A and B are shown apart, each in its own frame.
Chain A
Amino acid sequence: MQALAVVLAAAGAGRRSCGCVLMSFKTNAEIFRFPPRLLFDADPGQLRGACGPSEFRSSFVNSLVVSVASTVLSLLIGVPAAYALSRWTARGRRHDHAVDPGQPHGAADRLHHPLLPGLSASRAARHADRPDHHLPHLQPVAGDLDDAAVLRPAAALARGGRLDRRRHDVAGLLSHHPAALRRPASRPPRSSASCSPGTTSSSP
């Protein structure tokens, strides 16, 4: 049953493509024949005509060149950029870079900034408390990971389910710091050393 559903879905998705391919092997008379025949004499005349010395031929070559060139260019630019962003921080990498800490704005402005939802707001508020503090824009990522002031509220928000971890750059910090997501270890019950000898400690 599952295989039948897959076949039907594939047939539905590829119906138009198959029709296009089949039509390209039909003559004009065969295309407009009614009722259409499933089995027909294949004629590559349409393909030959489309590939002949016409404007379509040069456009086809142009399409190939453009697609290959754009792919190569995007790889040449995108791969080094992705590597650089994964290794170093830069202005604009994090949400809170959108707020200039030098601006004399209060915490409320920063909390309501559209680029500062969720946890980033807490970080903005932290910077708001220290207006003379400038964000270290060009420091290694490892320096951010040690920032407990960011990780602590992140863990609290994540545990409470109020943090959409896919949408905030804090997700990156948390994914590198899984320990921050762990619930704080429950305090051990009072040791029996504090109890008087001969009594048993009651378990919670």
Chain B
Amino acid sequence: MTAPVAVVNFMNYEGWEWGRIAAGGTMIMLPVLVFSFVVRRYLVHGLTGGALKG
């Protein structure tokens, strides 16, 4: 099971644990943000290098 699926476990019959759901969402987006920040130079280089005039 992956993390987005596991977040659903915070929704149960006792109620929705909004705080933990939000914490799970934050944890999921954190690696993506960190990776994008680390390789942003290469991302921009690749995006501009592959751009075509429409």
Pair B2/A62 contact, Cβ less than 8 Å: yes
Q: Mark B6-38, 1 if CB is under 8 A from A, else 0.
A: 110110000000111011111111010000000
Q: What is the bound-complex CA distance between A21 and B20, given in angstroms?
A: 11
Task: Tell me which of A24, A28, A51 has the highest count of chain B C-beta atoms within 10 A of its own C-beta.
Answer: A24
Q: Does A63 contact B (CB under 8 A)?
A: yes
Chain A residues with CB below 8 A from B6, complex form = 55-56, 59-60
Known: A49-B20, A56-B7. A17 touches B29 (CB 8 A): yes
The residue in chain A whose Cβ has the minimal distance to the Cβ of B15 is A28
Q: What is the bound-complex CA distance between A26 and B23, given in angstroms?
A: 10
Shortest C-beta distance, A72 to chain B (Å), equals 14
Contact of A59 among B3, B20, B22 (CB under 8 A): B3
In this complex, how many residues of chain B approach chain A with their Cβ under 8 Å: the count is: 21
Q: What is the bound-complex CA distance between A126 and B28, given in angstroms?
A: 55
The residue in chain B whose Cβ has the minimal distance to the Cβ of A22 is B22
Q: Does A125 contact B (CB under 8 A)?
A: no
Q: Mark A20-32, 1 if CB is under 8 A from B, else 0.
A: 1101101110010
Known: A26-B19, A31-B18, A56-B6. A47 touches B27 (CB 8 A): yes
Chain A contact residues, majority secondary structure: helix
Pair B24/A50 contact, Cβ less than 8 Å: yes
Q: Mark A34-67, 1 if CB is under 8 A from B, else 0.
A: 0000000000011101110001100110111010
The residue in chain B whose Cβ has the minimal distance to the Cβ of A30 is B19
Interface size on A, as a range, is: 20 to 34
Pair B9/A28 contact, Cβ less than 8 Å: no
Pair A20/B25 contact, Cβ less than 8 Å: yes
Known: A31-B19, A59-B3, A63-B3. A21 touches B26 (CB 8 A): yes
Residue pairs across A and B with Cβ atoms less than 8 A apart, 21 shown, are A20-B22, A20-B26, A21-B22, A23-B18, A24-B22, A24-B23, A26-B19, A27-B19, A28-B19, A31-B18, A31-B19, A47-B23, A47-B26, A55-B6, A55-B9, A56-B7, A56-B24, A56-B27, A60-B3, A62-B2, A63-B3
What would 8 more interface pairs be, CB under 8 Å, given A24-B25, A56-B3?
A23-B22, A46-B23, A47-B26, A50-B24, A55-B9, A59-B3, A62-B1, A63-B28
Nearest 8 A-B pairs (CB), nearest first?
A59-B6, A23-B22, A46-B19, A50-B23, A24-B23, A24-B22, A63-B3, A46-B23
